[in-house]
Amino acid sequence: MLDKELELYYRNFRNMFGSDGWKQLLGDLSNNAVMINSVELAKDGDDLRFRKGQLAVIANLLNLEAQIDTAEQDALEAEQEIE
């Protein structure tokens, strides 16, 4: 069993991932990514780099649930190895 603080951390994320608001946010981010990912709309190199940064942040949020699931699984496996 993970320590209480870590358990709460993962539980809070699971609750958030199950919420309608989270699902709406992911939908909006996915739609925005399509528009941001247009090279044609970039005004110049600075704008292109800015868009690249925006896409990196969006990708991180879109993959957050999988990242948290993996981190929790790794923590549980590491704990089992100790026992």
Residue with token string 């358990």 = 7
**39: CB partners within 8 A, 6+ apart:** 48
* Cα–Cα dist 2/8, whole Å: 9
Q: How does pLDDT run across 52-63, given as a tens digit for each residue? A: 999 999 999 999
**32: CB partners within 8 A, 6+ apart:** 58
Q: How does pLDDT run across 38-48, given as a tens digit for each residue? A: 888 899 999 99
Query: Which pLDDT band holds residue 79 (cuts at 50, 70, 90)?
Result: confident
* Cα–Cα dist 27/35, whole Å: 13
Lookup: tokens for 75: 């923590």
Domain positions in the chain are 4-82
